[in-house]
Structure 1
Amino acid sequence: MSILAASGTAWAQSVQRVQTRIIERAVSRNLDTVFRPKLVINSGATGPVTALALSHDERHLVTGVGNNTLRVWDLWVGREIARLSGHTARITNVAISRDGRRAISVDADRSVKVWNLGALGEVSSLGTHPSPVTGMALAGNDSGVFIASSDGRIRATALQDGKVQWDVPAHAPGVVKLVVAADGRRLVSAGADGAVRVWDAATGKATVEIAWDSPVQSLALSADDKRIAAGNNRGEIALWSMDGTRMATVESKADRILSIAFVGDGGSLVAGGADGSVVQLSPGGESPRVLGKHDAPVSYMVVSADSSFALSASEDGTSRLWSLRGGTHLLTLVSTETGWAVIDAKGRYDGNQQALNGIDWQADSGVANIEDFAETHYQPALLPRTLQNGEIAAAADIPAGVSFPPSVRFLSPASAGGAEARSIVVEVVAEDKGGGVSEVRLYRNGKLLPRDIGQVERQDVDGRAQVKARYQLDLSQGGNVLSATAINNERLESRPQTLTLAEGPRPPGRLHLLTVGVNRYKETRLNLEYARPDARAIRETMGAELQSSHTVAEVVTLEDEKATKESILAALRQFRAVPSDDVVVVYMAGHGVSVGDDWYFISHETLIPRDQRQLSGHALSSAELKAEMEALSADRTLLLLDTCHSGTAVSPLKDYRGMKALRLLARSVGTHVLAATDRQQYAVELEALGHGIFTYTVLSALGGNGDINRDGTVSVTELINFVEGAVPPLSKKYADYAQYPTGYSRGSDFQVSRIVPGK
């Protein structure tokens, strides 16, 4: 071999090694670029969904969950509205009366309870059934309940007085399932003995006898009462006419069939299996269509009246909504110990903060809380928007894979510990993990620091972006906890890195209060009755030295003609000089308008155009509010908004969409937001109370009713929890619908009221 050839070979090998290293780095970069997670409930899980019923008007869904509570969902509003307690064992069956006013539930201890779905409470108990209950159905006229038990008997009981109307031995001992015909005159039962029987609902006499060679696990009737379907533990479903004539046997792709439901008059069925599968089947022999799969057995299936949707309940702790037209999984409904969430197949979500804090996207390569995707995937009113085929913003498919957020760490201070100086230098570095670095955020005691106090340096390290942020930071008195996050180009936020510089109680600080109330508008048709009195009541309550938890430093009041956009912004800018140890509270009452996912406060001079998209640049926007709240140096801030839409027939979907901007404001800035933005009246303003319901409830909380832990003070968290729980039943009592305020907290909890004995 010549020297030239040898050197050429060496050069080629050198190039190959370099290329190999480049490829290895690219592969390595590729591996940590994509995050393909699975949804996991990490805290607050309630266990399996053990029972499910859909109201006849398809507005309310009632589920039994593993902590022995019933959960009531309003599908039109798109949220869980009540947690009903009273059972002490696993809830095995639930049914809703045809008029939608009552629900009846049974538990494993054989306790039978009746619930008022209007008042959302227990009405009565029908006592304890003699044997374990395996099936339950309501009479067609809602006058009674049929209960099947493991001893093979069926009992009919009157709801009004609890008297037994008839009681018959229907099957051999074992599981017995029940369903009532739509005409209310007939009852169908099926048992572990393989028998299927039709009964006269009034007398308890059997009119049709059917024998099957397999124990029955599930039972259904078609909407026209012409077909009976029964599922067994071999994955088979048998069909008969109501007179007992065998029509077909359908083989499913599911394991043991635990639940079935007809689609309409019986053109097809949906079935849930012990293996978690949900399938749609045709009696005509077509191949089963697999809609999807739960992670555990499917215990209940129901189908909408128009055959568009199916709902399933599973031992995996979720209820799921399926499109029967598209054959796809649409939504997952989750109830936790203290909250609720709705998540679609792409990962878009809605829910309350208590539930969402415990729900993660988890993979071997990392974990992200569901709220880390808030900017792109949070969708208020996701449930009704899905049911009504409403507009939902496009978003990346999280389970299919998304780019990782940047990593973030503190360069200085390098470790936790006491800081000797009041002013320190803080350096944070964020490194690209495949999705780029769009933004670095630094929080002091939960509050985002103003962007203008940081210096940002961007550089490229080994082909990846690296961002260093340097802050000259004044520390607060008492405890100081710093946390840093970084955002990638897809707006996915990293998990926070936290550094505790000092521990100890914070000083009370001084209160800076801004109240805005607009009764009189330049556009007189917008005039209100209670906005100004509500603002004054808040000022008098929170600004009173005796009741305030803080020394009152200043109170700024803007009413009617003085409450212009520029004057509100000027007042907020005045608060920029407030030191970090002080407290800022902003209360605004008047009209609010949602335009898409944006929200606007209508100040006195603002005219509402026919095309409300033209409000941009004229009305006070949530983006402008966010900028001003972010610019505050004070660590402890609270924004209270009591607003309504100017229209009188606005869709709830539009009302709640505007909540996205306010919720993101709270999350990104690190403040507390409590808002009522509603339709029709001024957030339900009522002469009987002298205030709008929202502010009436806030005042009630500040007066002492919000002191949940009975320590003599009311904190922001207590205030939000009390108002969120108290407003819906109060508004339902005084108005024709329930109002649901939105609360969100990110930042230090702090006291907002001190309870004065005798007041």
Structure 2
Amino acid sequence: MAMTRQLRALALGVAAAAALQLAPVPAAAQTIDVMRSAGRGIERALRSQIGQALRPTLEVRNAYDDPPKAMAVAPDGSHLAVVTPDGRLRVFDLVEGTQVLGGRGSGFEAVAIGGAGRPVIVLRSDGGVVAAERWGTAPGQALRLSGRASAVAVSRSSAYVGMASGAVEIFDAVSLERRAGVPATGEAVTAIATDPAGDFALVGDEDGEIRVISETGWVGAVAGTSGDEITALVHVVGPLFAAGTEDGELAFIDASSAKVLLTWDGHDDEITGIVGLGNRIASADEDGEVRFWDGQGRAAAEVRSDWEGGVTGLGVVASAGLQRVVVAGPNDAIHLVDPQSARPLLSLFVTRNGWGAVDERGRFDGDAGALQDIAWRAGKLRLPVENLSARYFEPGLLVKHLTARAEFLTPAREAVSQRMFPPPVVAMDVVSEPGAAGQPIVLEIEAESGSAREISEIRLYHNGKRVPDAAIRDGGSSGRTRSVTATVAALPGENRLVAVARGWEDIDSVPVEEVVETPRSGAAQSLRITSVGIDRYAGRALRLNYAVADAKAVADQLARRGGAIFAGVDAELLLDKKASRKGIDDALGRLASTQASDVAVIFLAGHARTVGAEWYFLPRELSDLKNDGEVRRLGISGRALADALTGIPAQRVLLVVDACQSGAVLGSFESYGQRRALQELKNRTGVTVIAATRADQLAPEYQSLGHGLLTYVFLEGMRSGGGGLRADLAPRDGSLTAAELKAYVEARAPELAGELNARISEQQGPRGDFSQRVPVTPVGVVLGADFALAR
């Protein structure tokens, strides 16, 4: 019998699905096989660091080799637009803390963004201009220009496009209709800055000249310019603007008198960005220096960091008196800096796979694509940030560093970069092998702590799903070591067993894995659906519009589509009165009759809340969403739900949560608490979780959907389109899996939210804002082997 042991440096989280798949043994195999890997070198490397405090550094894989080409912040601070090194457009919602437009287009070189997050005007490398008017739709029409564009700027009312000929074209910022034009000068426009209202702009060129141009086309020259190429311009306060040049000179300009008031040598290198900070400014150069200046041109502070590389863009976000400077370029990332202390607070990494943010204490947030790329590195140890989820996963991290009264959910008592003890080292052996499927696999698991603290927990996952504690017998602790014995029933085919231990600061170990193969069987598989929808809560103010319709539609669609895969489909609906606390508990209990080969889907639509560190799904008896005691007494906690899911015999379980947290009664950070709670639920159970915060039930745009946003997208993914089911994309093989549905929801839900936001804006008039934005925070996880749901 071939035997190998494999220790994989993986996060046991959203990245695990792809990492834990090995080639299956052919169905005809008739022997029992235990496979381990030969990763002794990794184990020795970890053991050599036991007890040693480490000072790790961040490592980002699949990162771009160059910094972002360009960056812009909306005047109202609502959105951040980034042009990646490969010329694609990414847009981030700075109110929700998520990416709302990812990887759009190609060949972009520069970007400008208007009020309320739109329009985004992107300059192509060939001098063409494209306007993306709303998130989730194709970019708008190309603006009709008189020549090759070289610079762009957008205010609340006007869009200014500078040309290589020196001409300037002026457009309405909403309708994109041409307003006026300014004749060519023969010197290319290199920088543009608008006043907040958009009534006029300052335009600089490659010959060092600066002009004042009104939105109607009036032109005035600024006296006293340096003659060096203008590389950066920004509005500061009132009529005051600031300019930077290619030789590092800075200047204050009075637009009302069209005169240069003050010049000074600010940098040794070309200035690549300037932002106004009330009566101060910040400037940056191509060597990566960021400096702060008072209104007299005197140095106030300088950012001190270990950044490498130049600055390619500078912006500022101001909210309720709090300012943050946004710096693009150093370390090929985007950074938030506190202008008062000149201290970096957070780094935003835009990778080829997605985005992730890590702050100065090691808290992190991001999407599934990027978080698998970001890890802490110390010598031979590479620990993905997701292994630190219990203490450092902070949903909404980007928003919280832009908010004066941020409510951090994670303790993060220790800054990871300053001190981290190694995670536990885990060893696992198969001590009793099954003779056939159904017989026991007995495992011995031992974990050694990487610090003076004892091992707090050892978790075992069988084909991705957590093994109940009842199947694990504690073998005791001795100093830094802890051992357990686990017994699981072998399934036909592959039995993938993964053990993880939790140590110092609740950091998860590098997983250790054993694979036991038994002969495959043709046992029939069934699909069990438990679908809960609650519109009629006891409290009339809490009543919803679409939860019942959602529960019915999901059960019906899964039953119809799953009929082509499963030998039997059983759907149980719990609507309104039936969705009491006892009714839901009993329905989850009935899933105990499932078989290991079955698939179970649990759908929950209704109200949910986080109280303290715990998340609760709320049954129909609830009368007061703001009453913490009632929520705790009646609600089904995340821990209770985790226990129920772990106890379900079915090895393949999908949990879908479309939970409403009404903006009328809850604080703005409630949805982040839900994201964190559901992430921890996934870690506890190993089941697939797809969830999103439902918008307020009174939001008018939902009338056009007839469903909650996540539910609508979930159902849309199972509809026919493009020669198959819409979400059947990776690969497009006619079989729709849980992982494909998760990916579809994550990509499509923010897009649809953008379309709905645009409709609201249109209903409010051509200059409407996004004050009624739809909060969408999808959390999708597939842990272990993927599984088919529909065909």
Contact 1:676 1:694 in 2 (8 A): yes
What's the counterpart of residue 399 of structure 1?
417
Contact 2:71 2:111 in 1 (8 A): yes
Query: Is 1:360 paired with 2:372?
Result: no
What's the counterpart of residue 680 of structure 1?
696
The more displaced of 111-120 and 211-220 is: 211-220
- The superposition leaves residues 241-290 of structure 1 with CA deviations (integer Å, 9 ceiling, x where unpaired) of 445655444455775432122222xx322122323232222354654412
2-side partners of 1:419 and 1:303: how far apart?
Answer: 64
**Matched residue type, 2:294:** S
RMSD: 3.4
What's the counterpart of residue 481 of structure 1?
496
Contact 2:661 2:670 in 1 (8 A): no
1-side partners of 2:111 and 2:519: how far apart?
Answer: 50
Deviation for aligned residue 1:570: 3.0
Contact 1:528 1:590 in 2 (8 A): yes
- The superposition leaves residues 712-739 of structure 1 with CA deviations (integer Å, 9 ceiling, x where unpaired) of 2211111122223333444553775334
What's the counterpart of residue 111 of structure 2?
94
Contact 2:249 2:267 in 1 (8 A): no
SS at match of 2:556: helix
Query: Is 1:126 paired with 2:143?
Result: yes
Identical amino acids, percent of aligned pairs: 24
What's the counterpart of residue 515 of structure 2?
500
Change (3 A) 1:307 1:742: closer
Provide structure 1 residue ranges, at least 5 long, that are not aligned to the other structure: 1-27
What's the counterpart of residue 563 of structure 2?
547
1-side partners of 2:486 and 2:594: how far apart?
Answer: 19
| 2:735 equivalent among 713, 731, 740 | 713
SS at match of 2:69: strand
Contact 2:222 2:259 in 1 (8 A): no
Change (3 A) 1:500 1:30: closer
Change (3 A) 1:654 1:250: farther
**Matched residue type, 2:131:** V
1-side partners of 2:147 and 2:182: how far apart?
Answer: 14
What's the counterpart of residue 33 of structure 2?
none
Deviation for aligned residue 1:365: 4.5
Structure having the higher Rg:
1
What's the counterpart of residue 106 of structure 1?
123
| 1:280 equivalent among 289, 292, 300 | 292
1-side partners of 2:680 and 2:480: how far apart?
Answer: 26
1-side partners of 2:226 and 2:647: how far apart?
Answer: 73
| 1:561 equivalent among 577, 582, 600 | 577
Provide structure 2 residue ranges, at least 5 long, that are not aligned to the other structure: 1-46, 720-724, 761-771
Counting only pairs closer than 5 Å after superposition, residues 454-465 of structure 1 correspond to structure 2 as: 454-460=472-478, 464-465=479-480
Query: Is 1:69 paired with 2:88?
Result: yes
What's the counterpart of residue 467 of structure 2?
449
Deviation for aligned residue 1:556: 3.5
Query: Is 1:296 paired with 2:309?
Result: yes
Contact 2:327 2:335 in 1 (8 A): yes
Change (3 A) 1:58 1:211: closer
Deviation for aligned residue 1:742: 1.9
**Matched residue type, 1:390:** A
**Matched residue type, 1:722:** Y
2-side partners of 1:647 and 1:282: how far apart?
Answer: 40
2-side partners of 1:385 and 1:505: how far apart?
Answer: 50
Deviation for aligned residue 1:127: 6.4
SS at match of 1:403: coil
What's the counterpart of residue 783 of structure 2?
747
1-side partners of 2:702 and 2:300: how far apart?
Answer: 55
Query: Is 1:657 paired with 2:670?
Result: no
**Matched residue type, 1:559:** L
Contact 2:675 2:777 in 1 (8 A): no
SS at match of 1:585: strand
Aligned length: 713
Change (3 A) 1:557 1:138: closer
Deviation for aligned residue 1:67: 2.8
Counting only pairs closer than 5 Å after superposition, residues 104-503 of structure 1 correspond to structure 2 as: 104-117=121-134, 120-126=137-143, 130=147, 134-138=150-154, 141-142=157-158, 144-149=159-164, 153-156=166-169, 158=171, 160=176, 165-169=181-185, 171=187, 176-182=190-196, 184=198, 186-198=200-212, 202-203=216-217, 205-212=219-226, 214-233=228-247, 235-242=248-255, 243=257, 247-250=261-264, 252=266, 256-264=270-278, 267-284=279-296, 286-293=298-305, 294-305=307-318, 306=321, 308-314=323-329, 316-388=331-403, 389-393=405-409, 394-395=411-412, 396-412=414-430, 422-434=439-451, 436-460=454-478, 464-502=479-517
| 2:591 equivalent among 566, 575, 580 | 575
Change (3 A) 1:129 1:596: farther
Counting only pairs closer than 5 Å after superposition, residues 730-741 of structure 1 correspond to structure 2 as: 730-731=752-753, 732-733=755-756, 736-741=772-777
SS at match of 1:674: strand
What's the counterpart of residue 3 of structure 1?
none
**Matched residue type, 2:376:** W
SS at match of 2:386: helix
Deviation for aligned residue 1:636: 0.8
Change (3 A) 1:406 1:559: same
2-side partners of 1:699 and 1:727: how far apart?
Answer: 12
What's the counterpart of residue 611 of structure 2?
595
- The superposition leaves residues 302-349 of structure 1 with CA deviations (integer Å, 9 ceiling, x where unpaired) of 224557221121164322222223432222223333432232221212
Counting only pairs closer than 5 Å after superposition, residues 77-92 of structure 1 correspond to structure 2 as: 77-83=96-102, 85-87=104-106, 89=107, 91-92=108-109
SS at match of 1:726: helix
**Matched residue type, 1:725:** A
Contact 1:230 1:239 in 2 (8 A): no
What's the counterpart of residue 765 of structure 2?
none
What's the counterpart of residue 71 of structure 2?
52
The structure showing larger relative contact order (alpha-carbon pairs under 8 Å, at least 6 residues apart) is 2
**Matched residue type, 2:511:** P
The more displaced of 71-80 and 194-203 is: 194-203
The more displaced of 433-442 and 544-553 is: 544-553
**Matched residue type, 1:705:** R
Higher strand share: 1
Change (3 A) 1:580 1:253: farther
2-side partners of 1:529 and 1:211: how far apart?
Answer: 62
2-side partners of 1:47 and 1:426: how far apart?
Answer: 47
**Matched residue type, 1:551:** A
1-side partners of 2:198 and 2:680: how far apart?
Answer: 50
2-side partners of 1:609 and 1:318: how far apart?
Answer: 41
What's the counterpart of residue 533 of structure 1?
549
**Matched residue type, 2:657:** L
- The superposition leaves residues 348-407 of structure 1 with CA deviations (integer Å, 9 ceiling, x where unpaired) of 122221221221122324111111111111122222233222211331211112222101
Change (3 A) 1:741 1:705: farther
- The superposition leaves residues 130-154 of structure 1 with CA deviations (integer Å, 9 ceiling, x where unpaired) of 55x5532347741x523143xx634
Change (3 A) 1:664 1:339: same
**Matched residue type, 1:36:** R
SS at match of 1:320: strand
Deviation for aligned residue 1:75: 0.8
TM-score, L = length of structure 2: 0.81
Contact 1:684 1:692 in 2 (8 A): no
Change (3 A) 1:109 1:38: farther
Deviation for aligned residue 1:599: 1.8
Change (3 A) 1:197 1:630: same
Change (3 A) 1:729 1:135: closer
1-side partners of 2:429 and 2:785: how far apart?
Answer: 28
